């Protein structure tokens, strides 16, 4: 084989930490080990039947060709209606771009905003892909640790801003902590954003998965609409992870540039998938409500279990994750995730990928059945006793 040196751009980024954890569990399972997966951020529910039916129909009716690169107008209209109905947000179809997944949405947004050497403030713990995507586009992520209960520390965010800072990347309901920031905190961030002339990329992919309190979209905070690019998607709300569909909305001048990036890369997400997503938005509200109800029960069950085990965690208000500190209960905290998998067959994601200072934490995804959650709790309790 010929020698190959990857370009510098690629040397800066790593494999996905979350996918790596899931891969290890898959390997063990293939060897016959009974593993409970609490690693992937993927709802265990099937994609709602009406969405699948629409995709079939669309394929049979010939929706197998190129369509508008910004996304089907019918879908962008449905997204626009949905944003109005659920959050009181006003975005016209031409202020929305449909993307192949929210991850690609983050990539597009950062590509459209950042120059080589720019800095992006990333409050941590954070979804690991933010660091890698920022580096991939030639910019630098600047981590700002959150407080004891994962609250945003706005003073520290302000202190981290330099003349190179271009944007703040927010994500709530948060992966990995499940925290939903309240309006007051977001207003404090907005005040800094305004004063320093920054942009905000707000990843709100879990915005429909909220169990307590109220979700405030960042673009709804006064004067923030023109400075905010919001990333959202279908993976989590409609259990459509494999369909690869998301969307971005923001001010028209940025959306125009984002569209250029899509035109020169993906062109657009699959046409029939977009058609199916119209059904998701227009006809599947009852599925979302049932899923949220079920997630709330699972969250409460796991929360009680974790507290019984001695974790000092707060109850997360949204998404489907816990991010406990293993040091609360285990002497070798940095290896908790690894030991739990080897000795108890429970797969979680180690905290190290979510930011500096979170090596003793681990992420639990409770997007799995109640039976598996109960069994996982029993296994964890037994593991901690021995
Ligand atoms: C915070 C966050 N943003 C984006 C994504 C990616 O979503 P998609 O499947 O739409 O690419 C994930 C998936 O885990 C996520 O947790």
Cα torsion through 284, 290, 294, 299, rounded to 10: 70
Domains, in order of start, for the chain? 8-46+286-385 (3.90.1150.10), 49-283 (3.40.640.10)
C-alpha distance from residue 28 to each of 3, 21, 36, 46, 364 (Å)? 33, 11, 11, 24, 18
Give the position, in ligand 1's atom list, of the atom nearest the Cα of 246.
10
Structure tokens at 250: 């923001």
183-190 contacts, C-beta under 8 A, 24 or more apart: 183/214, 183/216, 183/221, 185/151, 185/152, 185/154, 186/216, 186/218, 186/221, 187/221, 187/222, 188/152, 188/154, 189/152, 189/154, 189/157, 189/218, 190/218, 190/221, 190/222, 190/223, 190/224
The pTM of the full predicted model, rounded to 2 decimals, is 0.96
Question: Which pLDDT value is given to residue 21?
Answer: 75
- How far apart CA 177 and CA 127 sit, in angstroms, is 10
Strand partners, 336: none
Convert the pLDDT of each residue in 304-318 to its tens digit: 999 999 999 999 999
Question: Which pLDDT value is given to residue 55?
Answer: 98
Q: Write the residue with the smallest CA distance to atom 1 of ligand 1.
A: 175
Question: Which of 97, 103, 363 gets mutated to test ligand 1 (max ligand atoms within 8 A of its CB)?
Answer: 103
Tell me: pLDDT of 106 over 80: yes
Question: Which of 131, 205, 241, 248 gets mutated to test ligand 1 (max ligand atoms within 8 A of its CB)?
Answer: 205
Structure tokens at 3: 């020698």
DSSP for 314-379, please give it: PPP-BTTEE--BGGGT-TTGGGHHHHHHHHH-EE-EEGGGG-TT-TTBEEEE--S-HHHHHHHHHH
- How far apart CA 176 and CA 190 sit, in angstroms, is 23
Question: Which pLDDT value is given to residue 15?
Answer: 77
Question: Which pLDDT value is given to residue 370?
Answer: 95
Give the position, in ligand 1's atom list, of the atom nearest the Cα of 104.
11
Tell me: pLDDT of 11 over 90: no
Region 245-255: mean pLDDT is 98
Question: Which pLDDT value is given to residue 241?
Answer: 97
For residue 19, name the pLDDT band (cuts at 50, 70, 90): confident
Give the position, in ligand 1's atom list, of the atom nearest the Cα of 171.
1
The whole-chain average pLDDT of the chain stands at 96
- How far apart CA 149 and CA 365 sit, in angstroms, is 18
Region 158-174: mean pLDDT is 98
Region 282-296: mean pLDDT is 97
For residue 94, name the pLDDT band (cuts at 50, 70, 90): very high
Convert the pLDDT of each residue in 339-352 to its tens digit: 999 999 999 999 99
Structure tokens at 204: 């709100």
For ligand 1, the distance from its centroid to the CA atom of residue 280, given in whole angstroms, is 18
Q: Where is pLDDT greater, at 41 or 279?
A: 279
- How far apart CA 319 and CA 312 sit, in angstroms, is 19
DSSP secondary structure code for residue 50 in this structure = H
Region 253-280: mean pLDDT is 97
Question: Which pLDDT value is given to residue 214?
Answer: 93
- How far apart CA 47 and CA 37 sit, in angstroms, is 19
Tell me: pLDDT of 104 over 80: yes
**Closest alpha carbon to 276 in 58, 66, 88:** 58
Region 321-326: mean pLDDT is 98
Question: Which pLDDT value is given to residue 372?
Answer: 96
For ligand 1, residues with CB inside 6 Å are: 41, 101-103, 127, 171, 175, 203, 205, 233, 235, 241, 246
Chain centroid to Cα 46, Å, comes to 19
For ligand 1, the distance from its centroid to the CA atom of residue 246, given in whole angstroms, is 9
Region 316-325: mean pLDDT is 98
Question: Which pLDDT value is given to residue 359?
Answer: 96
Peptide bond into 173 cis (omega under 30): yes
């Amino acid at each position: 084989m010929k020698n190959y040196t990857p370009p510098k751009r690629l040397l800066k980024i790593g494999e996905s930490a979350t996918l790596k954890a899931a891969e290890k569990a898959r390997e063990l399972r293939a060897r016959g080990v009974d593993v409970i997966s609490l690693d992937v951020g993927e709802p265990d529910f099937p994609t709602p039947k009406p969405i699948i039916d629409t995709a079939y129909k669309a394929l049979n009716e010939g929706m197998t060709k190129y369509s508008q690169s910004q996304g089907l107008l019918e879908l962008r209209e449905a997204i626009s209606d949905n944003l109005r109905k659920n959050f009181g947000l006003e975005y016209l179809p031409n202020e929305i771009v449909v993307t192949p997944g929210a991850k690609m949405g983050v990539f597009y947004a950062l590509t459209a905003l950042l120059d080589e050497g720019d800095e992006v403030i990333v409050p941590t713990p954070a979804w690991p892909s933010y660091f890698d995507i920022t580096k991939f586009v030639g910019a630098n992520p600047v981590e700002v640790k959150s407080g004891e209960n994962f609250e945003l520390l706005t003073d520290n965010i302000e202190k981290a801003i330099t003349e190179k800072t271009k944007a703040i990347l927010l994500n709530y309901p948060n992966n990995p902590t499940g925290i939903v920031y309240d309006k007051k905190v977001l207003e404090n961030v907005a005040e800094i954003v305004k004063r320093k002339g920054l942009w905000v990329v707000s990843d709100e992919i879990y915005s429909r998965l909220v169990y307590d309190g109220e979700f405030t979209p960042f673009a709804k905070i006064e004067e923030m609409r023109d400075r905010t690019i919001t990333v959202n998607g279908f993976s989590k709300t409609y259990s459509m992870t494999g369909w690869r569909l998301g969307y971005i909305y923001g001010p028209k001048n940025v959306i125009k540039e984002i569209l250029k990036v899509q035109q020169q890369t993906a062109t657009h997400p699959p046409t029939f998938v977009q058609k199916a997503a119209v059904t998701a938005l227009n006809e599947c509200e009852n599925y979302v409500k049932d899923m949220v109800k079920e997630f709330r029960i699972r969250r409460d069950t796991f929360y009680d279990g974790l507290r019984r085990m001695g974790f000092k965690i707060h109850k997360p208000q949204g998404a489907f994750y816990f991010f406990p500190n293993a040091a609360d209960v285990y002497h070798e905290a940095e290896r908790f995730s690894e030991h739990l998998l080897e000795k108890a067959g429970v797969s979680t994601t180690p905290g190290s990928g979510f930011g500096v200072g979170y090596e003793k934490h681990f992420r639990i995804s409770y997007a799995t059945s109640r039976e598996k959650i109960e069994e996982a709790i029993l296994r964890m309790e037994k593991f901690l006793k021995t």
